[in-house]
């Protein structure tokens, strides 16, 4: 862990000291709405997030900690972006008779973001993300599951110089059962200051065989440099099937130009 932190510190220091002449970084975090923007050509972008989530069901307390989720992206050209998602997570279940905890590496996601069209009048900027989940590249508890996939269509409208409306529609499979889980998101972003932004969001997951989960969240981003962004976020469930609440923070940076 210390080696990882020293490495991140070295990379960020070098980025801060470089003179930049490119557009500010655009990220897929901290909201659940993935951005249709692609990583610039021949650049590497890393988005790291940490989150804490709690839910209480029938007197049993569930706590999930993501530490961290890492999205690594590479811009191939103006139409394609390669993606790799890894996540190290912990969970704790507390009951009246005791507490049990586990630590796992979630299945690695390998994917692609494809840009279909840029924004033009009422037509939104539109891209699609497709991921393959590889349980073999995860903790042993996932190895019995099959390869699975997820996809989303990503749309964005510019409402003003400071405001934009983004939304996603998609579906995912978990490799265990054949049923589909639908995904929707709707996010409104606003630039408070040149380097400070905020958003509010509604999103949900709609499985075929179990109850849907609807959630609300909000957050803020701060642009340290054109290549480095910090973020904080938090939200809560809107129905009984959703987690009670979550909080998170993260850092994103890019290099290669």
Of 12-16, 67-71, 135-139, the range with the lowest mean pLDDT is 12-16
Between 1-5, 13-17, 22-26, 88-92, the lowest mean confidence (pLDDT) is in: 1-5
Q: What is the pLDDT of residue 127?
A: 98
Tell me, yes or no, if the pTM score tops 0.85.
yes
What homologous superfamily is domain 2-255 in, according to CATH? Autotransporter beta-domain (2.40.128.130)
The mean pLDDT value for 40-54 works out to 97
Q: Name the band, by pLDDT with cuts 50, 70 and 90, for residue 242.
A: very high
- What's the pLDDT score for residue 58? 83
The pLDDT, as a whole number, for residue 143 is: 85
SS3 of the chain: the string is: CHHHHHHHHHHHHHHHHCCCCCCCCCCCCCCCCCCCCCCCECCEEEEEEEEEEEEEECCEEEEEEEEEEEEEEEECCCCEEEEEEEEEEEEEEEECCEEEEEEEECCEEEEEEEEEECCECCECEEEEEEEEEECCCCCHHHCCCCCEEEEEEEEEEECCCCEEEEEEEEEECCCCCCCCEEEEEEEEEEECCCCEEEEEEEEEEEECCCCCEEEEEEEEEEEEECCEEEEEEEEEECCCCCCCEEEEEEEEEEECC
**In the chain, domain spans:** 2-255
Condensed to tens digits (0 to 9), the pLDDT of residues 137-192 reads 999 888 877 899 999 999 999 999 999 999 999 999 987 777 899 999 999 999 99
> Mean pLDDT throughout 67-79?
96
């Amino acid at each position: 862990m210390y080696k990882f932190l020293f490495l991140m510190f070295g990379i960020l220091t070098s980025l801060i000291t470089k003179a930049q002449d490119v557009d500010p970084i655009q990220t897929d975090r901290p909201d659940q709405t993935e951005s249709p923007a692609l990583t610039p050509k021949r650049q590497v972008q890393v988005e790291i997030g940490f989150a804490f989530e709690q839910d209480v069901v029938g007197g049993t307390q569930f706590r999930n900690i993501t530490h961290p989720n890492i999205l690594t992206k590479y811009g191939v050209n103006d139409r394609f972006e390669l993606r790799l998602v890894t996540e190290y997570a912990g969970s704790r279940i507390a009951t009246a008779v005791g507490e049990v905890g586990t630590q796992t590496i979630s299945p690695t996601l390998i994917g692609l973001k494809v840009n279909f069209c840029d924004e033009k009048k009422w037509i939104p900027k539109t891209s699609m993300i497709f991921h393959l989940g590889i349980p073999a590249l995860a903790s042993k508890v996932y190895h019995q599951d099959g390869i699975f996939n997820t996809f989303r269509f990503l749309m964005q409208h510019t409402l003003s110089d400071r405001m934009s409306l983004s939304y996603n529609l998609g579906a995912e499979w978990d490799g265990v059962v054949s049923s589909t889980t639908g995904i929707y998101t709707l996010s409104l972003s606003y630039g408070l200051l040149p380097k400070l932004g905020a958003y509010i969001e509604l999103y949900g997951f709609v499985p075929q065989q179990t109850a849907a989960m609807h959630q609300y969240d909000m957050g803020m981003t701060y642009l340290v440099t054109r290549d480095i962004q910090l973020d904080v976020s938090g939200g809560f469930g809107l129905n009984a099937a959703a987690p009670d609440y979550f909080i998170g923070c993260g850092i994103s940076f890019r290099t290669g130009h």
